[in-house]
């Protein structure tokens, strides 16, 4: 009799263990499901307005996407204030993302920044992608003939004291020819406190830089650069479109 009781007891214990394991296995998917459900319902982080503006801002190499949210006038006004507070002249470079010569001018200025940084504060105005950039450019031209890049130098009060327009009224753009280099040095002379030796250093630096541009293959031109080159890579006629992307053949002199 005792033996039968022991066997029954062992069977009851085994059955209880099996039921316990089964219940725990059924409850685990419910816990996982609840956790997954909470994860799905979590809202993604929201971008602040400042983050959106930064993501749309123009990259220095001109490759970043649309920046129409960046007002050109605001950029200019802020740059004038910075230049004035630092007792420097404002060196404005009007350019566009497709402009190869704009990139070359910027590269020269960056490579030789120590020559200029004591006298100038630099700012770029993208005439194509900044909001109001083309209009601001036209205001500075005031009817003058000009292509890109175009340089305008302002004093602390925002008055123009020098520009890349030579004595013949044409824009030198990124200096390449000897007379263009001479005008560039004259611009710097008329808008800075540089000594004669410093001005000579600027001229020599530009001459050395131009030697690297003698071969057009070094410019890594875009697909339409040959047409732009044929129409004048640094200056376009006054009546030509501001952005020579299409109809380049009609721009030839």
Q: Name the CA dihedral angle for 21, 25, 28, 30, rounded to a multiple of 10 degrees.
A: -120
pLDDT at position 44 is 27
What's the chain's average pLDDT?
Answer: 72
Reported as a pLDDT band with limits 50, 70 and 90, residue 12 is low
First and final C-alpha spacing in the chain: 122
Residue carrying structure tokens 């066997």: 7
pLDDT (average), residues 72-97:
96
Domain membership flag for residue 50: no
Domain membership flag for residue 37: no
pLDDT (average), residues 204-218:
79
Domain membership flag for residue 247: no
pLDDT at position 249 is 31
With a cut of 80, say whether residue 209 has pLDDT above it: yes
Structural domain of 71: 58-230
Of residues 169 and 193, which shows the higher confidence score? 193
pLDDT at position 49 is 25
With a cut of 50, say whether residue 142 has pLDDT above it: yes
**Residue of 232, 226, 163, 150 whose CA lies nearest to 191:** 163
Domain membership flag for residue 127: yes
Reported as a pLDDT band with limits 50, 70 and 90, residue 146 is confident
pLDDT at position 225 is 53
pTM across the whole model: 0.62
Total tally of structural domains belonging to the chain: 1
Domain membership flag for residue 25: no
State pLDDT tens for residues 37-54: 332 222 222 222 222 232
pLDDT (average), residues 228-244:
42
pLDDT at position 80 is 97
Domain membership flag for residue 84: yes
Domain membership flag for residue 5: no
Domain membership flag for residue 176: yes
With a cut of 50, say whether residue 190 has pLDDT above it: yes
Burial letters for 101-131: b for 16+ Cβ neighbours within 10 Å, e otherwise?
bbbbbbebbeebeebbeebbbbbbbbbbbbb
Tell me the CATH number at 131. 3.40.30.10
Lowest mean pLDDT among 55-59, 72-76, 231-235: 55-59
């Amino acid at each position: 009799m005792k033996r039968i009781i022991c066997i029954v007891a062992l069977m009851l214990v085994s059955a209880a263990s099996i039921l316990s394991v089964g219940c725990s296995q059924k409850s685990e998917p419910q816990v996982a499901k609840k956790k997954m459900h909470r994860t799905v319902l979590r809202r993604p982080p929201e971008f602040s307005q400042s983050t959106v503006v930064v993501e749309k801002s123009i990259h220095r190499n001109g490759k970043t996407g649309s920046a129409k949210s960046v007002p050109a006038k605001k950029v200019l006004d802020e740059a004038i204030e910075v230049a004035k507070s630092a007792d420097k002249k404002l060196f404005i470079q009007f350019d566009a993302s497709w402009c190869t010569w704009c990139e070359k001018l910027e590269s020269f200025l960056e490579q030789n920044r120590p020559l200029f940084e004591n006298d100038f504060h630099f700012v770029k105005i993208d005439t194509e992608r900044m909001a109001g950039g083309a209009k601001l450019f036209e205001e500075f031209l005031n009817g003058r003939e000009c292509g890109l890049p175009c340089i305008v130098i302002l004093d602390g009060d925002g008055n123009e004291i020098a520009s890349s327009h030579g004595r013949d009224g044409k824009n030198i753009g990124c200096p390449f020819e000897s007379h263009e280099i001479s005008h560039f040095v004259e611009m710097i002379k008329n808008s800075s406190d540089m000594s004669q030796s410093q001005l000579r250093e600027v001229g020599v630096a530009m001459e050395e830089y131009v030697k690297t541009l003698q071969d057009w293959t070094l410019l890594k031109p875009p697909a339409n650069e040959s047409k732009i080159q044929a129409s004048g890579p640094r200056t376009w006629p006054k009546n030509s479109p501001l952005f020579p992307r299409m109809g380049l053949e009609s721009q030839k002199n």
